[in-house]
């Protein structure tokens, strides 16, 4: 099997039971491997790390792993990967920052529901070792942060150990050339979005961000954190706001905030997304008049040229033919 893998440019292992020990202890060279994906089953074993078999991959560019802890020491080939996707991985905030500091060539980063290591869940440290050195990702252009916490986390007033991994790590990640960001399924508390906002502002170049997507939203309490974040992105050209598929959520506050002020003929003094050109709203519950006024004010006085509305719910009966058509 190993000899066949050594000739491959892309290798994927999915659903590998944690009890299987199918890999040899040796670390052969994989001279052609550019894409590697490895996913265990949900039966997490805290002692099982990323397989040593794939330590020597000199051409590796894209790496994805799920339901497993990263290797205690990072393989040298990870130093040059450009795409990293981590899902359901057990890692501390400091461990994540250390990993990102090592993978400094990243251009695309996706994190999905990172979790605090199981072996420490029953007695997590009261104070984690402070993160002293941030991770500088000067090549990163795309960041996708998927939170997706279970409903039980929403009932607590305090963030769980799992939630604190990203909330603690994001403020120590610097990505000064980021152009696209996606925030998916944040908690109804504003801590998740606030952590992303701190990451952006700490990078000292919020003007680099041209596109932002809010996906899988579930609570109208997130409207103000969304507006607060948008207000820090002066060159934003595209916004997408999408609610979870099983509901409609009131985001009329965001629609009102995006309305172009009547007395600003120039960009000077316009606080929210003056360069917006394209917008998508999905499963939002809004007032049709507010939506109509926002769209018309933007298309008439600013650069908005493309609007997509998907499965919207109006709080009033749309009277204007234009809004009837949009519905």
The answer to whether residue 311 is domain-embedded is: no
Higher pLDDT, 175 or 27: 175
pLDDT of residue 324: 46
Report field, pTM of the whole predicted structure over 0.85: yes
Contact 149, 174 (CB under 8 A): no
Determine the average pLDDT of the residues in 81-85.
98
Please state, in angstroms and rounded to a whole number, the distance separating the CA atoms of residues 313 and 284: 6
DSSP 148: -
Determine which of 11-15, 98-102, 128-132, 254-258 has the lowest per-residue pLDDT on average. Answer: 128-132
Please say if the pLDDT value at position 300 is more than 50.
yes
pLDDT at 322 over 60: no
Each residue's pLDDT tens digit, 117-165: 865 544 555 456 678 799 999 999 999 999 988 776 666 667 788 888 9
39 part of a folded domain: yes
| CA distance readout (Å), 302 to 50, 150, 197, 257, 297 | 50, 40, 25, 15, 8
Confidence of residue 41 (pLDDT cuts 50, 70, 90): low
Select the highest-mean-pLDDT range: 249-258, 294-303, 318-327: 249-258
Provide, rounded to the nearest whole percent, the portion of the chain with pLDDT above 90.
Answer: 57
pLDDT given at position 155: 62
- Does 297 map to a domain? no
Measured CA to CA, the distance from residue 199 to residue 36 in angstroms comes to: 28
Q: Which residues of 252-284 are buried (b: 16+ CB within 10 A; e: fewer)?
A: bbbbbbbbbeeeeeeeeebebbbbbbebebbbb
Query: What pLDDT score was predicted for residue 17?
Result: 59
> Is residue 320 assigned to a domain?
no
Res 131: pLDDT: 82
Asked whether the predicted pLDDT for residue 197 surpasses 60, the reply is: yes
Per-residue pLDDT at 117: 83
Query: What's the CATH code of the domain at 232?
Result: 3.80.10
* Arithmetic mean of pLDDT, 225-251: 96
187-207 burial string, b = 16+ CB within 10 Å, else e? bbbbbbbbbbbebbeebeebe
Point out the least confidently predicted range of 103-107, 152-156, 194-198, 208-212.
152-156
User: How many structural domains is the chain composed of?
Assistant: 1
325, pLDDT greater than 50: no
In a domain, 55, yes or no: yes
Question: Does residue 165 form part of some domain?
Answer: yes
Across 64-73, 97-106, 197-206, 249-258, least confident range: 64-73
Q: Is residue 293 part of a domain?
A: no
* DSSP string over 58-87: TT--EEEEESSBPPSS--GGGGG-SEEEEE
- Say if residues 112 and 88 touch (Cβ distance below 8 Å): yes
Percent of the chain with pLDDT over 70: 82
Residue 314 lies in a domain: no
**pLDDT at residue 13, as a whole number:** 78
262-287 pLDDT per residue, tens: 765 555 556 689 999 999 999 999 99
Reference 58, options 82, 43, 79; nearest CA is: 79
Whole-number pLDDT of residue 126: 46
Domain enclosing residue 254, as ranges:
2-17+27-261
């Amino acid at each position: 099997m190993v000899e066949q893998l050594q000739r491959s440019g892309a290798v994927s292992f999915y659903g590998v039971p944690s009890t299987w020990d199918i890999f040899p202890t040796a670390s052969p060279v994989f001279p052609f491997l550019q894409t590697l994906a490895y996913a265990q089953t949900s039966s997490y074993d805290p002692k099982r790390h990323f397989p040593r078999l794939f330590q020597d991959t000199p051409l590796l560019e894209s790496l994805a792993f799920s339901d497993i802890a990263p290797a205690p020491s990072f393989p040298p080939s990870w130093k040059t990967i450009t795409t990293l996707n981590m899902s359901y991985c057990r890692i501390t905030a400091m461990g994540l920052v250390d990993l990102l500091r090592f993978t400094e060539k990243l251009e695309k980063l996706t994190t999905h529901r990172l979790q605090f290591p199981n072996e420490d869940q029953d007695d997590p440290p009261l104070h984690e070792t402070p993160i002293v050195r941030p991770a500088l990702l000067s090549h990163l252009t795309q960041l996708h942060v998927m939170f997706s916490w279970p409903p039980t986390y929403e009932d607590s007033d305090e963030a769980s150990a799992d939630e604190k991994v990203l909330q603690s790590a994001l403020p120590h990640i610097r990505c000064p050339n980021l152009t696209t960001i996606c925030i998916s399924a944040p908690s109804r508390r504003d801590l998740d979005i606030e952590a992303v906002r701190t990451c952006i502002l700490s990078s000292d170049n919020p003007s680099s961000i041209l596109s932002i997507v809010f996906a899988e939203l579930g609570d109208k309490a997130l409207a103000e954190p969304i507006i607060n974040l948008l207000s820090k992105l002066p060159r934003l050209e595209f916004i997408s706001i999408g609610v979870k598929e099983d509901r409609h959520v009131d985001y009329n506050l965001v629609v009102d905030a995006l309305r172009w002020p009547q007395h600003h003929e120039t960009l000077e003094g316009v606080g929210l997304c003056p360069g917006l050109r394209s917008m998508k709203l999905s499963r939002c519950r809004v007032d049709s008049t507010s939506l109509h006024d926002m769209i018309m004010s933007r298309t008439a006085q600013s650069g908005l040229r493309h609007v997509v509305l998907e499965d919207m719910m109006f709080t009033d009966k749309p009277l204007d033919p234009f809004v009837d058509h949009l519905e």
